[in-house]
Amino acid sequence: MFLQLGNSFAFGSYQTINELLFKKTSYLNYGSIILFVANILLSFVYINSITVVLLAIALFLIINIIGWVSVIRIHQKFISSYFFYFILYLCALEIAPLIILGSFLK
């Protein structure tokens, strides 16, 4: 988050990126609540239930997809005017950490 805020300060779009980070964090928190409830259910109620796992993953993905679609729809003018920076943002700060984390987990 600090890298994203620093990047927005450098490019003069602090207010927009700050709002985007707030919405992204909100949707990630909603998804983490779903995963927390699934962990509680898997630990105490439905031990080793594949249905709970698949349902939790599906709900988590749906919440994040809805979040990204709504953020992109709201900031469509900003993204279209800075399309190159948006692609750079996605590659460097959203996709790269997942790839790095995946390589460490192998």
pLDDT at 93: 65
What is d(CA 53, CA 95) in angstroms, rounded to the nearest whole number? 24
What is d(CA 15, CA 31) in angstroms, rounded to the nearest whole number? 25
Q: How many residues in total does the chain contain?
A: 106
Q: Does residue 63 lie in a domain region? A: yes
Structural domains in the chain (count): 1
pLDDT class of 11 with cuts at 50, 70, 90: low
More confidently predicted of 51 and 87: 51
Q: Does residue 22 lie in a domain region? A: yes
What is d(CA 56, CA 89) in angstroms, rounded to the nearest whole number? 28
Domain range for residue 44?
2-81
Q: Does residue 64 lie in a domain region? A: yes
How confident is the model over 68-102, as pLDDT tens digits? 888 878 877 777 776 777 777 667 666 777 777 77
